A and B are shown apart, each in its own frame.
Chain A
Amino acid sequence: MPVAAVNSAREAAAAVVDPEIRVITIEDLGILRSVEVDPGTGRVVVTITPTYTGCPAMDVIRADIRRALAVAGHPDAEVRTVHSPAWSTDWITDAGRAKLASAGIAPPAPVRRDGVVPLTLAVRCPRCGSPDTEQLSRFGSTACKALWRCRACSEPFDHVKAL
């Protein structure tokens, strides 16, 4: 299989955007684990992992990947879901963090390594940059986000919570 086919499949899958946070791709988010092309048949196998076990966006993401691959000339594609190793917000790329921040969503702090409960650090307001913010609710508009408010500019904002 020519390298070009692998690259085109990889690019097509990597460009799929998260259906609930449409500023960030599945590659930025760290949920795209691998893209492989069978040299004999040309069949593409994409492996993804969910952010949260109950993430309702997974079905849409699978369909979007298959559609993107078909458009890129890979109609024979399979999307596999794996749960191990478990996704961590540490897998969100620097580019992804920048895209989140520019869309008004505060990116997550690094996860503490020795435990499962993340450290609570000051979250900067993505609008005015102030660290004077407060958590309104640990659970937000999607499973991966919490709801915060900036005391300086009074704006509420989403924060991707460290996991």
Chain B
Amino acid sequence: MSGPFDFTLALGDDALIAAQRLAEWTTRAPEMEEDIALANIALDQLGAARLLLSYAGELEGAGRDEDALAYLRDDREFRNCLLVELPNGDFAVTMAKLLVLSAYQLPLYTALAGCADERLAAIGAKTRKESAYHLDHAALWVRRLGDGTEESHRRMQAGIDQVWPYAQELFAAQPQAPVDPASLRADFDATVSAVLAEATLTVPDSAWAPAGGRDGLHTEHLSYLLAEMQVLHRAHPGARW
């Protein structure tokens, strides 16, 4: 996987699946402000997904638009990283996931903004501004919970430990891609380790590196997510609000 279509599709799928998971918090967040915040971040991810999937469809040239790509593919055809399809878990797990995702997306979109592909550059210039807010929000909560009570510290560390192995897949080298994810690793490590240090949390020392999302090999969680996300479109093709 390294061509512009595969690359763009994978980024679009990351954003789409992240949006769907974050939206599950709507009406269930620990407080009203957080409910709105998570819904807003989900909406930003959905906006990025629409731009990326629309462009992926054009690159493919097979007549598939954003809806066809989002609603009419099966799990094995999705190219998102495993991180975004993992269940939300408790609030600490969700914030650990958002920290890892946004600390990856911010340098990724920033690099995209300077890449040779004009469409991807425009998308990157737009989405990086939003990612900066996502990272800020996740870092705020990770610090607050990590450097909070004994219980919040314990659960925040557990959240980071659970999510950490899934970060490895994000930086698998793709030398031919518009942006090589391997080049983002140093930026990611610097950002995350600074946040974890402030939060009095430990960077996990784990050699386990689950992967496969970029090749369409997913956890069982993705199928359930897709079933809920796609059911309306599949039952009523072309349905409109």
Contacts and interface: CB of A to CB of B under 8 A. Distances in A.
Interface of A: 50, 52-56, 82-87, 116-117, 136-141, 143, 147, 161, 163
Contacts of B123: 83
Contact of B51 (A53, A141, A147): A53
A116 B132 contact: yes
Given A53-B51, A54-B47, A163 B36 contact: no
Interface stretch (B37-45, B76-84, B156-164, B171-179): B37-45
25 contacts: A50-B47, A52-B43, A52-B47, A53-B47, A53-B50, A53-B126, A54-B46, A54-B48, A54-B50, A55-B47, A83-B122, A83-B126, A84-B118, A84-B121, A86-B129, A116-B128, A116-B132, A137-B36, A139-B37, A139-B41, A139-B133, A141-B36, A143-B43, A143-B44, A163-B129
A20 to B, nearest CB: 13
B127 interface: yes
B: contact size bracket: 20 to 34
Given A52-B47, A82-B122, A84-B125, 16 more contacts: A50-B47, A52-B44, A52-B130, A53-B47, A53-B127, A54-B44, A54-B48, A54-B50, A55-B47, A83-B122, A138-B133, A139-B36, A139-B39, A139-B133, A143-B40, A147-B36
Name the prevailing secondary structure of the A interface residues: loop
A98 B163 CA distance: 46
Interface string B103-132: 000100010000000100111011111101
Contacts of A140: 36, 40
B43 A86 contact: no
Contacts of B127: 53
Interface string B193-207: 000000000000000
Interface of B: 33-34, 36-37, 39-41, 43-48, 50-51, 106, 110, 118, 121-123, 125-130, 132-133, 136-137, 140
A86 B125 contact: yes
**Most chain A beta-carbon contacts within 10 A, residue among B41, B51, B127, B129:** B129
A100 B123 CA distance: 28
Given A116-B110, A138-B136, A56 B34 contact: no
Residue of A52, A54, A117, A136 most packed against chain B (CB within 10 A): A54
